[in-house]
Amino acid sequence: MSQDPGSRPARRTLLAGAATALAGPAAAAAPAEAARAALYAFLAAFEACDLPAMEAAFAADATCFDRVVLSPRPPPAIRLADFRRAPGMPPGMRAIAQALPKSTPGPPYQSLKPVDLQVVATAEMALCTFHLESPHALSRRTVVLAPRDGAWKILHIHASNVSDEV
């Protein structure tokens, strides 16, 4: 639903955008760098399978679309409910963080190096997109962050993976 351009929220949004544009690239860089730092801190916690730190990176009202793997292998039975928006940290991410320490030496238990990271940010929100590469898979991620209680927190994660393994 679009807002009436004369409404109070629409005016605030327009004024915030104009203030950011007038302040120039230096002012826009500060939120982008803060969001980037929060993203890297979360990825480090995930590499270490540090569930308390991972959970602390999410806003109380965070949502996710858990990972989906597109592969030439026959898929397991699909339950549509598993692919709907869910609250909090993605269940697949939690399962990985719980399983890896039982089977892999570490920490770190995995290496998560964002490739082609793009961060677009304002003082109110940041959109981060990147992918993770392995020899036979490409894992695409979109992460939305916003400042909450003095720190940048994850509001939403969307994950999708593509594999050429048979």
CATH code, domain carrying 80: 3.10.450.50
Whether pTM > 0.85 for this model: the answer is no
Could you tell me if residue 7 is inside a domain? no
**What pLDDT shows up at residue 74?**
74
**What pLDDT shows up at residue 162?**
87
Domain range for 152: 25-163
Indicate the range of 28-32, 76-80, 96-100 predicted with least confidence: 76-80
Could you tell me if residue 5 is inside a domain? no
Q: Are 158 and 84 in contact (CB under 8 A)?
A: no
DSSP lists the bridge partners of residue 146 as 153
Could you tell me if residue 1 is inside a domain? no
Residue with tokens 């399983």: 99
Could you tell me if residue 89 is inside a domain? yes
Radius of gyration of the chain (CA): 18
**What pLDDT shows up at residue 166?**
64
**What pLDDT shows up at residue 65?**
85
* DSSP string over 113-129: --EEEEEEE-SS-EEEE
Residue 165, Cβ density class (10 Å: 0-12 exposed, 13-18 middle, ≥19 buried) = exposed
**Total domains, the chain:** 1
Cis link prior to 108 (omega < 30° from 0)? yes
Q: Is the pLDDT of residue 121 over 80?
A: yes
Could you tell me if residue 96 is inside a domain? yes
